[in-house]
Amino acid sequence: MKNALKTVGFLAVFLTIFTFYDRVMKFKNYDGIYGIQSFYKEKKNTVDVLCLGSSKVFTGLNTDILWEEYGIAAFDLAGSIQPMWNTYYFLKEALKTQNPDLVVLESYRCEEDVDWLDDYRIRVNTMGMKWSPNKLLSMMTSEQSKFWLNFMFEFVQYHGRYDRLSSDDFLPYLGNEKAYRNWKGFMNSNNFTPAEQPAVERDSVCGKMSSKTEFYYRRILELCRKRGIPVIVMNIPLVKYDTNSMHVFNEAGRVAGEYGFESHDFNSKEHCDMMGIDFATDFSDTVHMNLAGSVKFTRYVAPMIQKYGVEDRRSDASGKWDSWKQRAELKALAEAE
Amino acid sequence: MDFFVNFCKFFLHIFTAGITTPNYFFMLGLLCFFYYILPLKFRWIVFFLANLVFAFSVSKFGIFVMVFMMASVWLASVVLEKVQSKQVKKIIFATTVCLDALILIAMKDMQLLKNAGFLAKFVPIGISYWCLSLLAYLADCHRGLCTPERNPAKFFACAAFFPIAVSGPVIKMKETCAQIVEGHRFDYDNFCSGLQRILWGLFKKLVIAERAAIVVNTVYGDVDSFHGFYIWIATAFFFIQLFCDFSGCIDIILGSAQLFGINLPENFSLPFTSKSIAEFWRRWHITLGGWLRDYIYIPLGGNRKGNLRKYLNLLITFMVSGFWHGGTLVFVVWGICHAVYQIAGSLTLGARKRLCETLHINRETFGFKFYQCSVVFFLNLVAWVFFKSPDVKSALKTFVLSVDFNPWIFFDGSLGKLGLSAAEFMIFFVAMVIFLVVSYIKSISPRSVRSLVAGQNLPFRWALWISLMFIVMTFGKYGPGEESLSFIYMKF
């Protein structure tokens, strides 16, 4: 009995210290980890539009514009180069507390052709999640079984950061309250890389997704259908668009159709012309839009989102959507400076 | 279905993982759980099964060689007990020893041959360690010094005991077998002591050895770009790396065995405090040294047949030691170095004593002992150059490069070229201070450091162990991108 008490006491002291250690040392990437951690802070059933997918979501779908101009309470719950299986578990985790009117699923990673991810991708797409079966399954699906414990014991991944710690690791909101308090996952960039619009001859040939990607892509659609949540599958414009991307998206669109969901490849010349995208100024690199591009793109897709009966929450007086309002105020303050 | 298959594979993989990985500790936890829930007399079955899975998952074909060698020794030991004729006993003993020794030599050659192809798959895990134990066991049975184990499953549980298959120690089965096959009750203090020993082993391996390895690999990986003191610094770091790597591994192994209530023999006893090469070999890789002494040196005649024969026996014994380490000429030369040191030490002992008397040098002072330890350290450095080099030609070239006087590298920031940043050097330095303080306490106390700590008040004890846990967790070099999975002595 005495020994059992000693063990419990020792573990309690160790775990208390470890909690602080973990908070300081762990990765805080905005491109996956901090996004879902911010998501957990949202009040129950306040996210009306849940935007899922890879980094193209949090650089393309501008949640600030959606709120300020349309009153749409949207959240970009995405991660860098996020494969469909991690997206699936993000969705499952999100649906624990939210019941969105619409899920926007960005389809870039339907092109995913590997079954196992590198350490960086696993970290950004799983480590932000709270401990739950979803997190465990998300990790286990991403990595070969011999490395599972390297991710379940997260310190194995982050312990070497001792020489890279900065004030961001010790202060709340990554040390930048104006940028990250009530953050909705959107990451703006003012960089630009001049490019030309990819010339791809459009056709309706369907490509092939890898079996693992298709399996989880379908699970996402099935889950949404089961929960009665409509889905828009979309391919956000990118410079690195080619025939293969188009064919894979055609397949993604075909599969979405099977479930009765709509899909749009916004890389077509017609779409790009209508949204006014300028490839010379609106991309920060070959995949991601910059702020200017995201504003044009978001204004273009907002009416499609509104079609699903998403309400304008700006005039809501219940206080439920205050975090979106506060986010807009902080953004205005930051811009004024 | 894929996920289910992956899940099953996970349990096989935990047996193949390096002993510094979370997988290993997960496996250890599982084994402890099953060990302590079984009735006492069946607990050895956990080791029997763990050995099988461990050997199989590391080398699917090697397990056949392992089982064959163990079966041959078990059978011979049982037959030796029954047979009365000395002549027949000798034949059985000699045949089995030759068979197993030949297989060991062949396997070690295959380890060395990079293009051994399919045959290389037959090299079982830890053959160099358990094979020596098997041969010693058979010799002891032949001499009537131990009673053979009649149950082949118990014999396998003991001879292939999974922790020692990693890097030793070379156990004497006549002393250890009984411990392994008899069930042990859970002992809280012993269990905690085992965990503490594992933690200390991880500290030596992950915090010290892995940092020292960076300097060693930088210099020895491109030896042409370095000269003078760079070489000697790297060789000194190699000595530290080797010690912390090997003794750290042994600490993890001995700590793991202690979790099951099994005390394996010690392999190190403060080798840096040796005042002669002979003493060094009583403190470094003790179990191998003991094996070589008992089964090579003494059967050859030891020191009972005059000085000339003694020196020849020493030479043969250390050549065998060198061959055991690598089987290539460079390791044999390393062994010869140590034999020559001991022969020279023995030949000049009288002259050195007379010189001290003539110069009125007190041999009992700290200063003189420090000088002796320094000489042993330097002689070892010279020998380690052979140990670290890929061949004799490269070793000789390294010696040529090392003969250069460039003391300014200690002052002009040139040490930054050795691969460690200033912060990493500082961590290494602090870790070495901790290591030396612990070694010093160990050298002046008859009790182990862990038992000394156990005698302290609870807050101090907890603070100490929790601090060490966080030091290892934070500053240990493990996880993605690190090469801490393997130990130097695993290759032997």
| Nearest alpha carbon to residue A61 among A280, A326, A293 | A293
What per-residue confidence (pLDDT) applies to B257?
96
How far apart are alpha carbons B378 and B237 in whole angstroms?
Answer: 12
ipTM of predicted complex = 0.88
Cis status of the peptide bond prior to B169, with omega within 30 of 0:
yes
Q: Among all residues of chain A, which has the CA nearest to that of B423?
A: A163
Tokens of B53: 């899975």
Count of C-beta atoms within a 10 Å radius of residue A127:
23
| Nearest alpha carbon to residue B96 among B137, B135, B50 | B135
| Alpha helices (runs of H) in A26-161, residue ranges in sequence order | 33-40, 55-60, 63-70, 84-94, 119-126, 133-142, 148-152, 155-158
Strands in A74-78's sheet, in edge-to-edge order, are A74-78, A49-53, A102-106, A231-235, A262-265
DSSP character string of B13-38 = HHHHS-TTSHHHHHHHHHHHHHHHHS
Position B481 pLDDT exceeds 60: yes
How far apart are alpha carbons B454 and B237 in whole angstroms?
Answer: 32
Which phi-psi region, left, alpha or beta, contains residue B124 (left: φ > 0; alpha: ψ -120 to 50)? beta
Which helix (H) or strand (E) is A104 found in, with range? Answer: strand A102-106
Mean pLDDT of chain B: 92
Confidence of residue B482 (pLDDT cuts 50, 70, 90): low
What per-residue confidence (pLDDT) applies to B339?
97
How far apart are alpha carbons A35 and A257 in whole angstroms?
Answer: 29
Count of C-beta atoms within a 10 Å radius of residue A13:
14
How far apart are alpha carbons B181 and B38 in whole angstroms?
Answer: 13
Percent of chain B with pLDDT over 70: 96
Three-class SS of residue A77? Answer: strand
Contact in structure between B7 and A136 (CB atoms under 8 Å): no
Confidence of residue B484 (pLDDT cuts 50, 70, 90): low
With b meaning 16 or more CB within 10 Å and e meaning fewer, what string describes B223-261? Answer: beebbbbbbebbbbbbbbbbbbbbbbbbbbbbbbbbbbb
| Alpha helices (runs of H) in A171-210, residue ranges in sequence order | 177-180
Q: Between β-strands A74-78 and A49-53, what pairing exists: parallel, antiparallel or unpaired?
A: parallel
Q: Closest Cα of chain A to B351: distance in Å?
A: 54
Locus of tokens 């991810």: A117
Q: DSSP assignment, residue A43? A: P
Confidence of residue B106 (pLDDT cuts 50, 70, 90): confident
What per-residue confidence (pLDDT) applies to B492?
66
How far apart are alpha carbons B233 and A58 in whole angstroms?
Answer: 51
Percent of chain A with pLDDT over 90: 84
How far apart are alpha carbons B170 and B168 in whole angstroms?
Answer: 5
Measured over all CA atoms, what is the biggest interatomic distance in chain B, rounded to whole angstroms? 83
Position B458 pLDDT exceeds 80: yes
Q: DSSP assignment, residue B148? A: P
What per-residue confidence (pLDDT) applies to B234?
97
What per-residue confidence (pLDDT) applies to B112?
59
Q: Closest Cα of chain A to B30: distance in Å?
A: 14
What per-residue confidence (pLDDT) applies to B441?
94
Any A CB within 8 A of B351 CB: no
With b meaning 16 or more CB within 10 Å and e meaning fewer, what string describes B400-438? Answer: ebbeeeeeebeeeeebeebbbeeebeebbeebbebbeee
| Nearest alpha carbon to residue B267 among B288, B297, B244 | B288
Tokens of B472: 């290892």
Contact in structure between B75 and B138 (CB atoms under 8 Å): no
Position B118 pLDDT exceeds 60: yes
How far apart are alpha carbons B202 and B244 in whole angstroms?
Answer: 9
CA angle (A209, A144, B485) in 5-degree steps: 145
A141, A145, A159 member nearest B479 (Cβ): A159
Three-class SS of residue A121? Answer: helix
Residues B286-335: tens digit of each pLDDT: 999 999 999 999 999 999 999 999 999 999 999 999 999 987 899 999 99
Position A334 pLDDT exceeds 90: no
Q: Closest Cα of chain B to A250: distance in Å?
A: 27
A6, A13, A149 member nearest B22 (Cβ): A149
How far apart are alpha carbons B139 and B160 in whole angstroms?
Answer: 18
Any A CB within 8 A of B13 CB: yes
Residues A238-276: tens digit of each pLDDT: 999 999 999 999 999 999 999 999 999 999 989 999 999
Contact in structure between A150 and A16 (CB atoms under 8 Å): no
What per-residue confidence (pLDDT) applies to B167?
86
Phi, psi for residue B221 in degrees, rounded to 5: -75, -20
Any A CB within 8 A of B3 CB: yes
What per-residue confidence (pLDDT) applies to B350?
93
**A chain contacts of residue B23, beta-carbon cutoff 8 Å:** 146, 149
Mean pLDDT of B395-406: 95
Tokens of B146: 């131990």
Confidence of residue B111 (pLDDT cuts 50, 70, 90): low
What per-residue confidence (pLDDT) applies to B120?
76
Which helix (H) or strand (E) is A235 found in, with range? Answer: strand A231-235
Q: Which residues contact A274 (CB under 8 A, 6 or more apart)?
A: A300
Q: Closest Cα of chain A to B263: distance in Å?
A: 22
Locus of tokens 């193209």: A56
Which phi-psi region, left, alpha or beta, contains residue A185 (left: φ > 0; alpha: ψ -120 to 50)? left
Tokens of B437: 């303080």
Distances (CA, A) of A134 to A91, A95, A141, A152, B410: 10, 11, 10, 12, 54
What per-residue confidence (pLDDT) applies to B483?
59
Position A153 pLDDT exceeds 80: yes
Any B CB within 8 A of A201 CB: no
| Nearest alpha carbon to residue A109 among A245, A222, A206 | A245
Q: Among all residues of chain A, which has the CA nearest to that of B6?
A: A145
Residue A11 CB-density burial (10 A; 0-12 exposed, 13-18 middle, 19+ buried): exposed
Amino acid, single-letter form, for residue B279: E
Amino acid, single-letter form, for residue B139: A
Q: Closest Cα of chain B to A125: distance in Å?
A: 17
Any A CB within 8 A of B211 CB: no
A153, A160, A163 member nearest B423 (Cβ): A163
Confidence of residue A192 (pLDDT cuts 50, 70, 90): confident
Confidence of residue B57 (pLDDT cuts 50, 70, 90): confident
A3, A17, A148 member nearest B10 (Cβ): A148
Any A CB within 8 A of B480 CB: yes
Position B114 pLDDT exceeds 60: no
Taking the CA atoms of B120, B252, B243 and B294 in sequence, report the sign of the dihedral they define: negative
| Nearest alpha carbon to residue A90 among A120, A116, A53 | A53
Which helix (H) or strand (E) is A263 found in, with range? Answer: strand A262-265
Whole-angstrom distance between the N-terminal and C-terminal Cα of chain A? 62
CB pairs under 8 A between A and B: 61
Q: What share of chain A is helix, strand, coil (3-state, %, to 5)?
A: 55, 10, 40
What per-residue confidence (pLDDT) applies to A290?
94
Q: Among all residues of chain A, which has the CA nearest to that of B22?
A: A149
**A chain contacts of residue B6, beta-carbon cutoff 8 Å:** 140, 144-145
Contact in structure between A265 and A235 (CB atoms under 8 Å): yes
Q: Which pTM was predicted?
A: 0.91
Phi, psi for residue B360 in degrees, rounded to 5: 55, 45
| Nearest alpha carbon to residue B7 among A140, A213, A211, A126 | A140
Position B115 pLDDT exceeds 60: no
**B chain contacts of residue A149, beta-carbon cutoff 8 Å:** 14, 21-23, 26
Residues B214-258: tens digit of each pLDDT: 999 999 999 999 999 999 999 999 999 999 999 999 999 999 999
Which phi-psi region, left, alpha or beta, contains residue A47 (left: φ > 0; alpha: ψ -120 to 50)? beta
Position B2 pLDDT exceeds 70: no
A232 pairs with which residues across the strands?
Answer: A104, A262
CA angle (A66, A72, A74) in 5-degree steps: 80
Any B CB within 8 A of A144 CB: yes
Mean pLDDT of chain A: 94
